[in-house]
Amino acid sequence: MSAKILEGPAVATAINEAMAAKVEQLKNQGISPTLGILRVGERPDDVSYEKGATKRAEGIGLDVEKILLDADATQDQIIDAVRGVNANDAISGLLMFRPLPKGIDEDLICNTLDVRKDVDSMTEKSLTSVFTGNGDGFAPCTAQACIEILDYYDIPIEGKNVVVVGRSLVIGKPVAMMLLSRNATVTIAHSRTKNLPEITKRADIVIACVGRAQMLDGSYFSAGQTVIDVGINFNDEGKMVGDVNFDEAAEIVDAITPVPRGVGSVTTSVLCKHVVEAADAAKGK
């Protein structure tokens, strides 16, 4: 294997350290950046993610305020909870677990949140800001994690040809827009793209976010490339794998993120970074 491994945890640590310093500064100014967490019910995935996020947030000095509703909470109760967050100056930004229970108008609830507290990019306003670059709201954490990894490892974006494989609203489209705003030339490819390996082979950077286990094998890559693998899938043996066949790709390309210990390790740190930025932006308001 010749490729440099782009380790997510190293990137996360660097973000965490920078944020811990920033949190200390804010605390010296009497501000306590606080992550609000809104959870409806007790879904094990949510509870597990919440534990990890809480640990990371507290590790960099953030306060965490949990708002827990019963699984049978009504839509009005959830809306009230979000409005409560909007009105509560002590909460800098909100993480709300989704999907919400059936029968709840999730879009309505997401868009109730004040965009300035939308650290997990669940409002339309945040999505629009990624498209327009108008500076409202925060980018989706996973999309930003890809950029953070490239920046940490000093991999230039400007003027590079980037192929994004995947066009979801959560990752493909936003990461394409973010790369575009950094002056990359961006190709958005997808499951209906013809001759995909020919297209990915020409890229300087490949972002794989198509959601198919190890779909991009060695035939998709060429020497000198950087590969960011956003996929989180499980193979037939139940092992977590990315959208890229890591072993094959790593023989060919210059640099690649592993799965696990890649993009997924960085997202919670990006979330916390957004909380700190939200607290900073709210300063003196």
Nearer to its own copies by C-beta: 9 or 197?
197
Q: Which residues ranging from 216 to 275 are in contact with its own copies (CB under 8 A)?
A: none
Is 169 a binding residue for its own copies by CB under 8 A? The answer is yes
Query: What end-to-end distance do the CA atoms of the chain give, in Å?
Result: 53
Which of 207, 159, 147 is CA-nearest to residue 185? 159
- The structure tokens listed for 22 are 């920033």
Count of residues binding its own copies (CB under 8 A)? 26
Look up residue 18 and give its two tokens.
């920078």
What is the x/- site pattern for its own copies, positions 148-167, by CB under 8 A?
A: ----------xx-x-----x
Between 161 and 233, whose beta carbon lies closer to its own copies? 161
Q: Does the protein bind its own copies through residue 188 (CB under 8 A)? A: yes
Q: Considering only 9-17, 69-77, 180-188, 248-256, which stretch makes contact with its own copies by CB under 8 A?
A: 180-188
- Collapsed DSSP state (helix, strand, coil) of residue 226: strand
- Rg of the chain over Cα atoms, rounded to whole angstroms, equals 19
215 contributes a contact to its own copies by CB under 8 A: no
Structural tokens at position 158: 């400007």
Nearer to its own copies, 13 or 219 (CB): 219
Which residue from 24, 47, 84, 131 is in contact with its own copies, where contact means CB under 8 A?
A: 131
177 makes contact with its own copies (CB under 8 A): yes
Q: Which of 151, 195, 194, 192 is nearest to 172 (CA)?
A: 192
Q: Which residue has the tokens 């705003």?
A: 181
Note whether 170 binds its own copies by CB under 8 A. Answer: no
Least CB distance from residue 30 to its own copies, whole Å? 33
Of 63 and 204, nearer to its own copies (C-beta) is 204
CB of 187 to its own copies, least distance (A): 4
Short-list 277, 254, 10, CA closest to 120: 277
Cα separation, 279 vs 126, in Å, equals 17
Query: By three-state DSSP, how is residue 165 classified?
Result: strand
Please say which residue, 54 or 161, places its beta carbon nearer to its own copies.
161
Q: Is residue 77 a contact point for its own copies (CB under 8 A)?
A: no
The binder of its own copies chosen from 4, 27, 43, 125 (CB under 8 A): 125
Dihedral angle sign, alpha carbons of residues 271, 275, 276, 280: positive
- Least spacing, CB of residue 199 vs its own copies, in Å: 7
Q: Is the peptide bond before 156 cis (omega within 30 degrees of 0)?
A: no
Binding of its own copies at residue 108 (CB under 8 A)? no
Please report whether residue 180 would count as binding its own copies according to CB under 8 A. Answer: yes
Closest CB to its own copies among 182 and 261? 182
Residues belonging to the chain: 285
DSSP letter at 216 equals B
Torsion (CA) 116, 112, 174, 278 in degrees, nearest 10: 20
- Give least dist CB 217 to its own copies, A: 19
Site residues (vs its own copies, CB under 8 A): 124-125, 127-128, 131-132, 158-159, 161, 167, 169, 173, 176-177, 180, 183, 185-190, 192-194, 199
